[in-house]
Amino acid sequence: MSYGLSLHRFVDGEPVPPDMDVVRAILSPHEASADKVTGNDGEFWIRAADGSEAEVDVVGSVIGVERPQVGDVWKIIIELANRASGAILIPNGTFLCREDMRAHLPEGMENDSEFVPEITLEAFERVAGPFTHPLT
């Protein structure tokens, strides 16, 4: 069984695509392969300095993160969520959101969200609970 999560951004209650310039600026320095396997500009295979990896795919308004390994790759994912103004949809159904996103969420989504001033590794671990590997 693989672990995956997704990052989402909303403006005025509607999902919006991430800024690809921001996505590339964050992920490109961590690209694990000089040759993109698919040639798709929205697909990344990233590796952190400690060797941990994840696959990241941008499709429409969603940034999907598949098979993130235990390690510093989580710091890259969290930086992406913060800088791309995104919320993390954790597999338990909770949205981990920065407080400044509250006004932009679709109606009713606030009830399933945990709000923090900034998404941090500690906040992620607290909200994700048993749905993740130990991250530190």
pTM: 0.86
Tokens of 7: 């990052």
Domain-embedded: residue 48: yes
Dihedral of CA atoms 80, 101, 21, 126 in degrees, nearest 10, equals: 0
Sign, CA dihedral 10-16-22-24, equals positive
Domain-embedded: residue 134: no
Domain-embedded: residue 136: no
Range of the domain at 28: 4-128
Domain-embedded: residue 116: yes
Domain-embedded: residue 79: yes
The total domain count for the chain is 1
pLDDT tens-digit map of 84-135: 888 999 888 899 999 999 999 999 999 999 999 999 999 998 988 755 554 4
The CATH number covering residue 77 comes to 3.30.310
Domain-embedded: residue 32: yes
